[in-house]
Amino acid sequence: MKKLISLIAILSCVAVTNAQPVAGSTITTEKQKFVLESITTELQRPWGMAFLPDGRALVTEKDGEIRIIKEGKLLAEKISGVPAVFTNGQGGLLDIQLHPDYAKNGWIYISYAKPDGTKGGATTIARAKLQGNTLTNLQELFTAQPSSPSGAHFGSRIVFDGKGYIFFSCGERGKMENAQDLTNHLGKIMRLFDDGRVPKDNPFVNKAGAKPEIWSYGHRNPQGLYYDKTTNTLWDDEHGPKGGDELNIVLKGKNYGWPVITYGINYNDQPITDITKKDGMEQPIRYWVPSIAPCGMTMVTSDKYPNWKGNFLVGALSFQLVARVEVANGKFVAEERILEKIGRVRHVAQSPDGFIYVLTENPGTISKLIPVK
């Protein structure tokens, strides 16, 4: 009954638009009208997107390719020099981001599932430079321990705070107890210097047996990260099991509860736990029941979408839409669901010139949102 009441309360805060989006059409939402422009429909499971200063965009494909978008078109040529990836299940080539000072140092960061030489793989962070269309000077900065043959829950989003630090996520690889165990990296969000060094003020540096890279723990599978440089706030979204997806403010050293507390149940409809709150464990800012399967997200900072500024756009895999989530003072306000039935939304990105791009898998598409008055 408690969960039913919570579900009713959540749904009462959600506005839904049901029209299936069509490329080239004008879409009217609660606060913004835009034209949905198709960039490409020819990608194979795109995952991450980064924008180069010369106007090109780089897009990762999960099976191990980096594709190039130039002048609004997908090029046939691909980026070479990409490391080998472990492509089991959710594993593969995942996120891609530019260093905040890319124009000066040329570093491109990628996350991927690295093969361990047996039958497993591990979430890995590396950086490289782009020479022509080839990755060079590849440096591995981090590999999650332990490796696992599981194809589940790699996490893998990357963000920078602009102060010399990189944050990235690791899923618990389908073994829920990993998330509460500080002796491994799984089910955690990590913080490093951008060259891979461990900051001395990380929360568990001086805790015996704990992995020093850990920033927060108790996560299940965080596939969305965003760092708000205006407020110095790190946000994540993460997959729950059957229900219990979360949007969190991620704080230093905090425990986000999985699997001790959750608003979800197991896939066989059996309870995982009988509690949703516990002292010493953080509550989500927003949770979803049923699961929308949240993935890559961004906060709208662009003046091109004035009525969306400060809102999150969260990609949803299972519900095949984008959730526009309003928050104020660290609290959930409202949600509008847009672009329903567009496909499994893997990522939402904002380009340096202020446009929003939506990446879907199966079909592998990129769409651009062109605002209109």
Q: By the 8 A CB rule, do 224 and 189 touch?
A: no
**Tokens for 298?**
């961004």
Q: By the 8 A CB rule, do 67 and 61 touch?
A: yes
Phi, psi at 177, each rounded to 5°: -65, -20
Residues designated catalytic: 153
Give the DSSP letter string of 159-213: EE-SSSEEEEEE--TT-GGGGG-TTS-TTEEEEEETTSPPPTTSTTTTSTTS-TT
Q: By the 8 A CB rule, do 176 and 220 touch?
A: yes
Strand arrangement of the beta sheet that strand 65-70 belongs to: 46-51, 57-61, 65-70, 73-79
Checking DSSP bridges between strand 14-16 and strand 331-338, what pairing results, if any?
parallel
Q: By the 8 A CB rule, do 331 and 325 touch?
A: no
Chain centroid, CA 30 distance in Å = 25
Residue 228 bridge partners (DSSP):
233
Kindly tell me the number of DSSP H helices and DSSP E strands found in the chain: 2, 26
Pairwise CA distance, residues 23 & 369, whole Å: 10
Q: By the 8 A CB rule, do 179 and 219 touch?
A: yes
